[in-house]
Amino acid sequence: MTGLLSCIVFGGSQACMDALSNICIKALLMLVGWVRQRNNEPTMMGEPVSSVRNRLIAAAAVLGLGSGVLTGCGNDDPVNDVVPGTTDMTTTTTKPDQPQYFANADHVGKKATITAPVENDLTDESVILDAASYGDDSLLVLFKGDQPEFTEGRTMTVTGTVRQFSYDDYAERYGLGEAALFDAYANEEFLEAESMSTSSPAPTS
């Protein structure tokens, strides 16, 4: 019994198992001695039967305790303990992804509103925005009329319709000028703006 208590406090699962094995062996030896008694005076290994019976009951109780202790001894990582009946309530919060309006042709013909910084003021009626969060880090935007100054780095909010670019289709309408400026955008999605506004001033150096 002392050995078992020592293993609980100081030992690991192997020590607990050894202590329980010793208790089982002693209990079996005592039981064999009891069975072999042939005298009229019921004794077991030189002791009255009642005394031995009490010892066996105590040993059985220790064995029952030991089975529960072994469960604890076998788990050397308390960090990963799982308490029955509880639920892990840990949650992670992630920022929702922006709609990928310009990653493919799925949104062609649909309305879209984006907020993105100016990358390049291309012509009088075209500008390039860094709309990487919407699927294109060099998004062509075509517009009509007077618009805010397109200073590089200034954040713009634009509402319009997603289209697929063809220089021949839009050159005259938006006065695009030299075709070579728009070769990189051929057959790509772009935004035909209906309204534009400045969301933040341009960064200062």
List the chain domain ranges. 2-76, 105-200
Q: What is the dihedral of CA 28, 29, 35, 40, to 10 degrees?
A: -140
Superfamily of domain 105-200: Nucleic acid-binding proteins (2.40.50.140)
* Chain centroid to CA 198: 37
Given a cut of 80, whether residue 155 has pLDDT beyond it is: yes
Q: Hey, which bits of 9-134 come out as E strands?
A: 43-44, 47-48, 111-123, 126-131
Range name among 73-87, 96-110, 188-202 with the lowest pLDDT average: 73-87
Instruction: Provide mean pLDDT across the span 150-159.
Output: 93
pLDDT of residue 84: 60
Tell me the whole-structure pTM to 2 decimals. Answer: 0.53
SS3 assignment, position 177: coil
Is residue 20 within 8 A of residue 63, CB to CB? The reply is yes
pLDDT of residue 149: 82
Given a cut of 50, whether residue 9 has pLDDT beyond it is: no
Given a cut of 80, whether residue 122 has pLDDT beyond it is: yes
pLDDT of residue 111: 97
Instruction: Provide mean pLDDT across the span 15-42.
Output: 60
d(CA 190, CA 161): 8
pLDDT of residue 103: 94
Given a cut of 90, whether residue 3 has pLDDT beyond it is: no
Is residue 143 within 8 A of residue 157, CB to CB? The reply is no
Indicate the helix (H) or strand (E) that contains 137.
strand 136-142
pLDDT of residue 93: 44
